[in-house]
Chains A and B, each alone.
Chain A
Amino acid sequence: MSDSPLPAVDYLKIPDDGDPYLEGYKCSSCEAIFLGERANCAKCGERDQMETVTLANSGTLYTYSIVHRSFPGIDVPYISAIVDLDGGGTVKGNLINVDPEPEKIEFGMPIEVVYDDALGRKDSEGNSYLSYFFQPSNAAS
């Protein structure tokens, strides 16, 4: 079992000395941005021209749904959000610190990416995980 939390997804990076961040793979030929390691570009087909980029911790809400029924054992309701990050890259995650009501959610609202324990979820070996969340960028964290 690992002493420190593991990343919930492979595009979340946890440096030994520094803050966690989201990593993208950017095609140096057409500048398309992807999540997760890859060799070839799905946009232009270029091979072996991927470079890693650090994605921004700020962005805007593109679209969302409010989930009231999920798979067994998943706490509801919650906001499933798709966020366009400043500077490129689109990620999906839970929007927190907003009431899960349509009146409280605005398209295009400024969002910040925050990092926290993965809702207490552990794998079969008991490892803890670090995940990322979205919150309105004016919210007190």
Chain B
Amino acid sequence: MTDAYVVGVDMIKFGRFPDKTVPQIGAEAAHLALDDSGLTIQDMEALYCGNLGQASGMVGQRILQEIGQTGIPVVNVSNACATGATAFREAWASVKAGLYDLVIAVGVEQMGKGLLGGAGGSKGISKEGLLGSGTMPSVFAEAGMEHARNYGTTFEQFAKVSVKNHHHSTMNPKAMYQIETPLETVMNAEMISYPNTKLMCSVNVDGSAAAIIASEKKAKELGLMSRAIKVRASVLTSDPWQERDLVMPDVNTCTRRAAAAAYEMAGLGAEDIDLVELHDCFATAEILHYENLGLCDDGEAGRMIDDGEVALGGKVPVNMSGGLLSKGHPLGATGIANIYEVSTHLRGEAGQRQVEGARIGLTHVIGLGSACGIHILEKAS
């Protein structure tokens, strides 16, 4: 099978764009990624589009109506918060399989403000606040408290994740926010679901990101190898059965399985990873994934945040973009925005927040329900 390369990738600055349509927002990222590669929509052989809010609305085709209806095949995918990564992976798979030499993946979302989560079915009466909480801050608080139960992780350690990611975002002009957020500010912010305060919840924003993927032959033929990013691994898992499944989504096992498969596919280990963009939908979640991705041993995640190993300048910087907590989390765009962030570091183009000497990076997303997508990327030599 051919190797597949990212030859163009970009994202819009995340924000709130109530006056734009979803396809308009998606089209902006598609144009940016095409421009990054120096190619046009006429060069693309297929489009893979990730969007959740209008999952039945043919968003990919409507993006082509904005930027050029070339008649290429369009696949629209929806996979909760793993939607963007799934669209990217489907695009990658089509190139790996030899179906196409040049394809585009676009992730886009337009979000409302407010709490995400299920209220537990429409039949009878609302179950929210009667049978616990189905809100996302609460679900991920419960997952974090499971870690606290096992390892004594503290509210302060969870809060430090948010301090770090907000700090990183001050160096990312495409993040929703660029605001230093000290520990006291995070811990004293409105409590949403203990231990997640408002500043420990991801920001609901509108956004889009896109990537152009090429076969090795095509990338060489077009002279695009100098900035190309090799996709060393692409893995998608769902959640295997767990005894607490029905009341407590398990984001750990599917991540561990995906990480093991991704390291094997890449022929690498966690120790080879120079930076990570992982799914910090809530500060509590980030802590879990240090261990799930093998960045440290089980039980070491609290120490890892305390020691600054996951901050810029540390052993393995995590969420240099500012993460979902500060860059923002437009559900369908997030998986491709992660790929943009890691690629930008591998290209040495991340400016003030550049992870020096970064060669290999990993992206991770979780869609609750559940799906885990992991990609390992390397600068083409």
Contact = CB atoms under 8 A, between A and B. Distances in A.
B13 interface: no
A28 interface: no
Interface residues of B, number: 38
Interface string B182-196: 000000001111111
B131 interface: yes
A63 B193 contact: no
Contacts of A8: 124-125, 127, 130-131
Interface in A52-75: 62-71, 74-75
A47 interface: no
A90 B192 CA distance: 24
B133 A90 contact: no
Contact of B138 (A42, A65, A132): A65
Interface string B126-153: 1111111101011101110110110000
A131 B193 contact: no
A71 B148 CA distance: 26
- The 10 residue pairs across chains A and B that have the minimum distance between CB atoms: A80-B132, A65-B141, A66-B194, A92-B247, A74-B129, A80-B133, A121-B125, A107-B149, A43-B241, A92-B132
Interface residues of A, number: 45
A123 to B, nearest CB: 5
A102 B135 CA distance: 19
A91 interface: yes
A29 to B, nearest CB: 13
Nearest to A44: B241
Contacts of A78: 129, 133
A129 B124 contact: yes
A76 interface: yes
A23 to B, nearest CB: 13
Given A64-B142, A68-B192, A92-B132, 14 more contacts: A8-B131, A9-B127, A32-B243, A33-B243, A35-B247, A63-B142, A63-B146, A66-B194, A70-B133, A80-B133, A84-B244, A90-B244, A90-B248, A94-B130
A102 B155 contact: yes
B127 A80 contact: no
Interface string A90-126: 1111100000001000011000000000110111000
B119 to A, nearest CB: 6
B245 interface: yes
A82 interface: yes
Contacts of B192: 67-69
B222 interface: no
A64 to B, nearest CB: 6
Contact of B135 (A64, A67, A129): A67
Nearest to B119: A71
A80 B120 CA distance: 14
B179 interface: no
A109 to B, nearest CB: 11
A123 B126 CA distance: 9
A33 B245 CA distance: 10
A6 interface: yes
B288 to A, nearest CB: 12
Contacts of B93: none
A32 B241 contact: yes
Given A8-B131, A129-B124, A131-B131, A68 B246 contact: no
Contacts of A75: 129
